[in-house]
Structure 1
Amino acid sequence: MITNQSAATATTLDLSLEKFEFCKVAVVLTGSTMTQIMPFWMDWVREAAPNTEFRVIMRESAKRFATKHGFEARMRTRVQQDEWSDEVIAAHIELAEWADLILIYPATLDYISRLANGITDSPSLLAALTTNAPVCIAPALPPRAMNNEIVRGTLEKLRAPSNFMVIDPVPGNSESSEVTHAWVPPAFPDVLRKIEAFRSEHAEVKSEPVAT
Structure 2
Amino acid sequence: MVSTGCAAAVGLFAGCAAIPPLENPVLVRPDADVENPILVAPGAPTPAGYAEVVERTLDALDDYFDIKPGSRLSGIIETLPRTAPGFEQFWKPGTPDNRERLWATFQSIRHYAIVRIEAGERGGFRVYVEVYKELEDLPRPAAAATGGAIFREEATVDRRVEAATPVAVPERNWIPKGRDPAFEQVILRKIQRAMYR
Alignment TM class, shorter chain as reference: under 0.3
Structure number with higher relative contact order (C-alpha < 8 Å, ≥ 6 residues apart)? 2
TM-score normalized by structure 1?
Answer: 0.19
